[in-house]
Amino acid sequence: MRQLLLLRHAKSSRDAPDISDYERPLTKRGVKDAAMMRRLMRELGLQPDVVLVSPAKRAQQTLAELEPFDDTPIVETLDGLYMAGSQQILQILQTLPDTARSVLVIGHNPGLHELALLLADQAEAWRRVPELARMAEKFPTAALAEFQVSGSWQNVGVRGTRLVGFLIPREITKTAD
């Protein structure tokens, strides 16, 4: 069984009109949310051995807030993840070697959201699962979707994918208060 983690970059700034989309940094809230996801991932034992990350500044800063990992994963910055659609991300995943046990993708919407819904739609009676209903509504910044993938990475998106959990920092903060 393999694990796929889809993490949308944390909250980024849109305040400076002279900064390109590619160079937008995280806000204070974004840094806080990414650090919260780091703690939560460790508590849940979510330890990727491969990290695929967009080269955009906000995605790179999100990764920096997740580090250091307990075990050092292979980290690949892929230009193709910047603003990639669901099919582009899926194609990247399908090229992974089967030695990759757990993969974390740090990217952008709408591609991550569309991919998460595509993968979740493979499960039977998915509309009855609370995480799926929440995820169908929205995939906010710093949200994390965890999937189990049976079989080869080559077949991901074709069959054998199940949503295990969907975490949103804002919801975690509310329950902790």
Query: Tens of pLDDT along 74-83?
Result: 999 999 999 9
31 pLDDT higher than 60 = yes
Q: Quickly state the pLDDT bin for 172 (edges 50, 70, 90).
A: confident
| CATH code of 29's domain | 3.40.50.1240
Residue with the larger pLDDT of the pair 122 and 99: 99
159 pLDDT higher than 90 = no
d(CA 66, CA 42): 10
Exposure string over 62-98, b if 16+ CB within 10 A, otherwise e: bbebbeebeeebeeebbeebbebebebbbebbeebee
pLDDT at 154: 92
Nearest to 9 by CA among 54, 51, 49: 54
Contacts for 32 with CB less than 8 Å, ≥ 6 apart: 169
How much is the average pLDDT of 97-111?
Answer: 97
pLDDT at 124: 47
Helix pair 28-43, 169-176: axis angle to 10 deg: 80
155 pLDDT higher than 80 = yes
* Alpha-carbon distances of 26 from 35, 57, 102, 158, 176, rounded to whole Å: 12, 8, 26, 34, 23
d(CA 174, CA 177): 5
176 pLDDT higher than 60 = no
Q: Are 119 and 100 in contact (CB under 8 A)?
A: no
158 pLDDT higher than 90 = no
Domain limits for position 140:
2-176
Q: Quickly state the pLDDT bin for 52 (edges 50, 70, 90).
A: very high
Residue-wise pLDDT for 39-48, tens only, equals 999 999 999 9
Q: How many domains does the chain have?
A: 1
* Alpha-carbon distances of 91 from 34, 71, 80, 87, 95, rounded to whole Å: 26, 26, 10, 6, 7
Nearest to 167 by CA among 1, 35, 40: 40
